[in-house]
Structure 1
Amino acid sequence: MRDPRLLAKPPACRLGCLILLRNPAGHVLLVDPDFLDGLILPGGAALPNEPPHLAAARHLHAQTGLHRRPTQLLAVDFTPADRYLERLNLVFDGGIVTDGEAALITVPPQRRSRLHGARFTHPVEFAARMSPAQNARVHQALANLGRALPLLTHGQRAA
């Protein structure tokens, strides 16, 4: 039975769905948004009732043209409200991008994507190119490679 009070005013929390992709050399794919200082992981907010792994895949495709369907969760990062609503950011493992796939990365025009571009970045460069919070998030996700949690949807592994 649904309690109408639970649906009357849902909590104001954004769900950020991010994806960690690496090239064979271990560099991480980052995007350069025009609305923030520094580089970030590809991804964005989930739509209402959108499964987070599908939101991450949707944003990745829109931002880079790459197709992935992540099912492993690497990190969960809660960010309290500041100039944005509070948010919960989920970082998914997107795996390794082959050299052939990397050559096909296409960032849409800035007026549509709000991105200056995308590039693979060596982890030693993160501190100089990312905010401290973004840097820590990506380093933690990298540290969790091989120890990822499976994503469940209604108790079943997401496919």
Structure 2
Amino acid sequence: MHKDTDWANPPRRRHGCLALIRNEEGQVLLVKPNYKPGWQLPGGGALADEDLLKACVREVAEETGLPISPTVVLANDYVSATPESAEGFNVVFDGGVIPSETPIQIQTEELEGHRWVGLDDLDNYARPQQAARIRQAHSAATSTGGIPYLRRGELAG
């Protein structure tokens, strides 16, 4: 749970900003939150009036220490409200490919750890809807290359 979000009174609509970060072997970087079950892509929620790309870059840096500079969206995933979370959208940005030995500094306040996971092993880590989101984003990254993220009609970056 992020300090800047009051989950007792969640926002009416949450904008999740996630990054698909891959290593040379095609595995994806997952992080393990300490406040809910399962593993997920690094990232988090955008603050009020915060650009989604900037939120993704900020959240990934806070959670992993990795400096990413994505400009491409790989997936947009609508998520209906549940008793545990607000309605919202999760935007998955292409966080690029990094060497698996790259140092990752996990934010221990919110995360228990990180792991490189192959697509065939996702179901052992991520909840079904998240595993499906990751597979769709990975497919976009390796086939279509995703879609550009724009700010006022110009490529963000």
- TM-score, scaled to structure 2: 0.87
Structure 1 consecutive aligned stretches of length 4 or more whose deviation exceeds 2 Å: none
Q: Given residue 120 of structure 1, which amino acid in structure 2 is its aligned partner?
A: W
User: Structure 2: how far apart are the matches of 1:69 and 1:82?
Assistant: 32
Determine helix, strand or coil for the equivalent of 1:105: coil
In the other structure, the counterpart of 2:99 is 98
Determine helix, strand or coil for the equivalent of 1:17: strand
User: Structure 1: how far apart are the matches of 2:87 and 2:38?
Assistant: 20
User: Structure 1: how far apart are the matches of 2:41 and 2:55?
Assistant: 14
User: Structure 1: how far apart are the matches of 2:50 and 2:22?
Assistant: 25
1:6-155 aligned within 5 A: 12-83=12-83, 84-100=85-101, 102=102, 104-109=103-108, 112=109, 114-145=110-141, 146-147=143-144, 148-155=146-153
In the other structure, the counterpart of 2:7 is none
> How far is the alpha carbon of 1:153 from its aligned partner?
0.9
User: Structure 2: how far apart are the matches of 1:129 and 1:108?
Assistant: 19
| 1:54 and 1:69 in contact (8 A); partners too | no
C-alpha RMSD over aligned residues: 1.3
How many residues get paired?
144
Determine helix, strand or coil for the equivalent of 1:38: coil
User: Structure 1: how far apart are the matches of 2:44 and 2:51?
Assistant: 13
> How far is the alpha carbon of 1:99 from its aligned partner?
4.0
User: Structure 1: how far apart are the matches of 2:100 and 2:41?
Assistant: 19
Q: Given residue 107 of structure 1, which amino acid in structure 2 is its aligned partner?
A: I
Query: Structure 2: which 5+ residue stretches go unaligned?
Result: 1-10
User: Structure 2: how far apart are the matches of 1:36 and 1:141?
Assistant: 22
User: Structure 2: how far apart are the matches of 1:64 and 1:149?
Assistant: 25
